[in-house]
């Protein structure tokens, strides 16, 4: 009887685990299909080459007349546009990917935890895209214009396409992560690691930290450093305000009573 009971217990524990693995596999497959479909559409229109031209447009607009980007590797003209195609497909399909993640995790969360997680996932995604868009539409133009203004007339700029892609990805990640400052502030405050008052007192130190980070992760020019540091400082203030609102509306049912009793 004891052996049979052990088998029943194992069956009871394995079944949910296997079911979760199957669901996880299905979610991953759906996410990959979404990315693949978007990549297929982009491959047909506008095509990998056109996507790279779009990505390189801010730089090309500030190059001397007749100057173009170059490829120093034999396979770079094929691999670099392909990388951009896959990166763009993932970004466009990101809402579907995040929905699959949310659909997998949400059933195991309490209602107040759903109120906590879902807004953070959505807002962090929107803020990351906002940082990338800010970098592409504003920062790149200012940075490339500033750099070209210092270039000697005897030098013809001809940047390598792989080096430019590496630069772009670094800048996109830097600005995308910098725009996540409000999310970090909200999470730290909501989890109780720091109080709102401490966040306000830390403001002068954060300003210094923001300029140090900007000096490290951006090119050595004052334009890109200011373009990263100033939004970080402003977003820190937004984070403090959002943390107060977020804490108020995402408390567990008994949390108010516990806090009052303490």
* Domain-wise residue ranges, the chain: 19-250
Confidence tier at 251 by pLDDT (50, 70, 90):
low
Residues 6+ apart with CB under 8 A from 49: 81
Angle subtended at Cα 255 by Cα 262 and Cα 188, rounded to the nearest 5 degrees: 95
**Which pair of structure tokens corresponds to residue 161?**
């396409």
Residue where the block lists tokens 């299905």: 26
- Where residue 254 falls among pLDDT bands split at 50, 70, 90? low
* Residue 10: predicted pLDDT: 42
What mean pLDDT comes out for the span 242-257?
Answer: 71
**CB-count burial class (<10 Å; 0-12, 13-18, 19+) for 110:** exposed
Average pLDDT over the chain, rounded to whole? 85
Residue 29 and residue 161: Cα distance in Å, rounded? 32
Comparing 100 with 249, which gets the higher pLDDT? Answer: 100
**161 contact partners, CB below 8 Å, separation of at least 6:** 52, 56, 69, 70, 71, 76, 77, 80
Prediction pTM value: 0.82
Tell me the mean pLDDT in the region 198-205.
Answer: 94
> What integer pLDDT is reported at residue 258 of this predicted model?
47
């Amino acid at each position: 009887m004891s052996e049979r009971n052990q088998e029943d217990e194992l069956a009871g524990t394995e079944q949910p685990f296997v079911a979760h693995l199957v669901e996880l596999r299905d979610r991953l497959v759906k996410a990959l299909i979404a990315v693949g479909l978007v990549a297929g559409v982009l491959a047909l229109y506008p095509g990998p080459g056109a996507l790279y031209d779009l990505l390189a447009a801010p730089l090309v607009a500030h190059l001397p007349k007749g100057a173009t980007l170059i490829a120093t590797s034999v396979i770079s003209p094929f691999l670099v546009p392909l990388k951009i195609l896959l990166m763009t497909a993932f970004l466009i399909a990101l809402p579907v990917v995040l929905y699959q993640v949310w659909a997998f995790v949400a059933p195991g969360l309490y209602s107040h935890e759903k109120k906590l997680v879902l807004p953070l996932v959505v807002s962090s995604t929107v803020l990351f895209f906002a940082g990338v868009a800010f970098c592409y539409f504003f920062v790149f133009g200012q940075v490339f214009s500033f750099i070209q203004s210092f270039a000697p007339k005897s030098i013809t700029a001809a940047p390598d396409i792989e080096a430019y892609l590496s630069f772009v990805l670094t800048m996109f990640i830097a600005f995308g992560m910098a725009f996540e400052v409000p999310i970090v502030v909200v999470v730290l405050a909501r989890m109780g690691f720091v109080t709102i008052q401490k966040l306000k007192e830390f403001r002068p130190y954060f300003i210094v930290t923001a300029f140090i980070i900007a000096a490290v992760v951006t090119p050595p020019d004052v334009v890109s450093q200011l373009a990263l540091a100033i939004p970080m400082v402003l977003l820190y203030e937004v984070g403090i305000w959002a943390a107060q609102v977020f804490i108020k509306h995402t408390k567990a049912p008994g949390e108010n009573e516990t806090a009052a009793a303490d």
